[in-house]
Each structure stands twice: as structure tokens, then as C-alpha cells.
Chain A
């Protein structure tokens, strides 16, 4: 069974600080996705990383896919209150048709 472990589970920091969220597995994924979910809404896709070692930037968010395609990280620079939300990573296995989800990181950015 493929599993994705996210850390930390909860993070509360001040506006302007940097942070990194991790998504780790012992299994290889064909691709990994990061989503952000706000209360009462469904997750919204932020990025998909496909190639081992790939780095993608989305404004102040930097996403990296590990070389072995078993892990990923999300780094936020100069966090803002609007970044508050639940960040979820999800991976497509190499031979199935369902996303494997991490438990999520609840991020609170205090003004």
C-alpha cells in the first residue's frame, strides 16, 4: 500500500516568515500534486510535478520533487495571511487510477 506522510501536521507562524512543508513516501510516484483547501471548500490544485528533481515556482511558493520521485516539498517565502489553509499533497501511483493523499498540513499565518 502506498502512503504519503506530510509534516508538520500543523504550523502557525508570523507573517513574513518562511516555511517548508514535506511530503514523504517509501514508494515511487509517477507524479505528485499539491493542493490548498480552505474551510468549506474543495481542494484547489496548485501544481503538478512529474520529473524527478523538478522544481516549480508559483509566485512565493516553490515546489520540488525528489530525485527518486518518492518525496516532495513546498516552500513558502515571506508568508502572508492569505496563505492560510490546509495544504495537501497527493501522488499518482505508477500502476493505479487513484490519487494517494497525505493527511495535510494546516497552516496559519498570523498578521
Chain B
């Protein structure tokens, strides 16, 4: 079974631009969660989508948004990029979502904002 894939793997953007990241979960998994990882803050939860509905949301500004499609693929968008948005963005999929015991992570998208 193929793992979680994320595209692109690396991205360089300029302040003020917007960016869209993509995540394809493991086949059959309906839950996709997004995380931001930085050296200073560690892993921080952005949001979770389950069956195309945002189920839970972390404490990030409205510039961070996401969506999930009927095939469970998910995208996250960051508008009006700031230097502090530079981070590794990880998505994770699980079969049932919510209080699931197992999440499977993709390799991440490394975003650099200059």
C-alpha cells in the first residue's frame, strides 16, 4: 500500500505571496491532519479533515486554510506569507480520524519564505 505523499517537497516563496500544498493520504484513509513543524515551536496542529469536513482546528490565523476532496486528498493554503511561516508542513492520514490510535505521516513540504 502506498504511503502518504506530499507535493511539492520543497518550495521557496516571497513574503506576501500565497502557497498551496497538497497531500494524498493512504488509500482508504478518510482523515487528513496538517501540522507545522519548526525548530522553535515543534509540531503544531493546524487542522484535521474527515470526509471533506473540517473536524478540528488548531490556533493558527485565518491565513491558513484547507480543504479535502471526495477522494480524501487534501490541500492547505497559506495566504499573505510571512517570514515566520517558513517551516516543514506535514500531513498525516488515518483510517478513522478523531481519536485514532495511528497516524501515518508524509515526508513533508519544506516551505521557505524570503
Contact = CB atoms under 8 A, between A and B. Distances in A.
Interface of A: 30-31, 33, 35, 40-45, 48, 50, 88, 90, 92, 96-99, 101-104
A97 B56 contact: yes
A88 B110 CA distance: 19
Interface stretch (B11-19, B69-77, B79-87, B90-98): B90-98
Interface in B33-53: 33, 42-45, 48
A52 B99 CA distance: 17
Nearest to B9: A40
**Which has the most chain B C-beta neighbours within 10 Å: A30, A42, A92, A98?**
A42
A44 B90 CA distance: 12
A45 B99 contact: no
Contact of A99 (B103, B108, B110): B103
A35 B104 CA distance: 10
A31 B42 CA distance: 20
Main secondary structure of the interface of B (DSSP, over half): strand
6 contacts: A43-B90, A44-B105, A88-B42, A97-B97, A98-B33, A98-B45
Which 5 residue pairs of A and B lie closest in terms of their CB atoms, listed nearest first? A42-B105, A101-B43, A103-B42, A97-B56, A97-B98
Nearest to A45: B102
B42 A101 contact: yes
B55 interface: yes
Contact of B99 (A30, A40, A90, A102): A30
B26 interface: no
Nearest to B4: A42
Given A97-B55, A97-B56, A99-B45, A41 B101 contact: no
A45 B104 contact: yes
Nearest to B42: A103
B8 interface: no
B42 A92 contact: no
B97 A42 contact: no
